Amino acid sequence: MEKRLFVILAAMVMSLVFAVSAVAAQKVVIVGDSEYPPYSFDNGGKMDGIYVRILQKIFPQMEGYDVEFKLVPWKRGLALVEKGEVLGIVPPYYRPEKRPWLKPYSDPIIKEEVAVFCNKKVMDKPRANFPADYYGLTFANNTGFASGGKVFLEAVESGKIKMEESKSTDTNLKKLASGRVDCYINDKQAILWTLKQLASQGGVDAGAVVESQIISGEEGYIGFSSKRTEAADFAAKFNKLLEKMKASGEVDAIVKEFAK
């Protein structure tokens, strides 16, 4: 009888512990870019990508938080964070002056190489000096992206360089390969990976697109809404788990998997 009572009491205590934990866990939403392969994208109806796989390992370990992670169009995601409707977004580059409402940032998750790719027809002369050697050309850009650096963006504002925005890397590479735009700035691996996929589907002539130059290395973060009071605590806990994952080699392994 006593043993049976002990078992019942133990079960009740465990149920209470789980119930308290469930109540204590704060539900938050983190969004990612839905059109940024190989970093975050829809893969046959399932979220996939380098950032996705890293975060899917970390978020279930976030003590005190029940994290919903989903992918949305980049511009929409930025708007949600700015309004404070979601806690954060991945992977903005560090742009505190352009997006003052995006703070704090997590520790950098991975480093990306940002490159200029052009239609081979406009590479009929050396274009080593960026962005001056590209004046008069039309660049594709992913909607909401702020790539290319301050001098490049100033050249766009002044009209020395034209810019056409589309929502995805796929669309911009199709425009680039067909000659509807002259050049395109984005992460090097994102461009090469997407170009390979499109070429295999017969969607583009990969030979029409050539790499011009690497212009910078950019690190991707989780950027948090300045309107959310839990942001600093979440970032601190996330950073500790990210550090452990980097030290174990898991982050490098995921990156290498997509580089094959």
Sorted by sequence, the CB contacts under 8 Å of residue 75 that are 6+ apart come out as 143, 144, 167
Short-list 101, 98, 51, 95, CA closest to 71: 51
Domain ranges of the chain: 2-109+221-259, 112-218
Stretch 170-178: mean pLDDT: 96
Per CATH, the homologous superfamily of domain 112-218 is Periplasmic binding protein-like II (3.40.190.10)
**Are 2-109+221-259 and 112-218 the same fold in CATH?**
yes
Short-list 170, 161, 96, 157, CA closest to 122: 161
Please tell me whether residue 101 adopts helix, strand or coil conformation.
Answer: coil
Instruction: With a cut of 60, say whether residue 11 has pLDDT above it.
Output: no
pLDDT digit string, tens, across residues 181-230: 999 999 898 899 999 889 999 878 999 999 999 999 889 999 999 999 99
- Residue 17: which pLDDT band, with cuts at 50, 70 and 90? very low
Instruction: With a cut of 50, say whether residue 120 has pLDDT above it.
Output: yes
pLDDT digit string, tens, across residues 58-102: 999 999 999 999 999 999 999 999 999 999 999 998 989 989 999
Q: Please give the share of the chain, as a percent, with pLDDT higher than 90.
A: 75
Average pLDDT of every residue of the chain = 90
H-run or E-run covering 67:
strand 65-72
Identity (one letter) of the amino acid at 68?
E
Return the number of other C-beta atoms located less than 10 Å from residue 66's C-beta. Answer: 14
What is the structure's pLDDT at 116?
97
Residue that wins the pLDDT comparison between 88 and 15: 88
Beta bridge partners of 72: 33
Question: Cis link prior to 96 (omega < 30° from 0)?
Answer: no
Instruction: With a cut of 60, say whether residue 32 has pLDDT above it.
Output: yes
What is the structure's pLDDT at 145?
86
- Residue 21: which pLDDT band, with cuts at 50, 70 and 90? very low
Short-list 32, 46, 70, CA closest to 221: 32
Torsion over CA: 247, 89, 114, 203 (sign): positive
What is the structure's pLDDT at 1?
47
What is the structure's pLDDT at 4?
56
What CATH code would you report for 2-109+221-259? 3.40.190.10
Instruction: With a cut of 80, say whether residue 46 has pLDDT above it.
Output: yes
Q: Exposure string (b/e) for 187-223, b if CB count within 10 Å is 16 or more?
A: bbbbbbbbbebbbeeeebeeebbeebeebeebebbbb
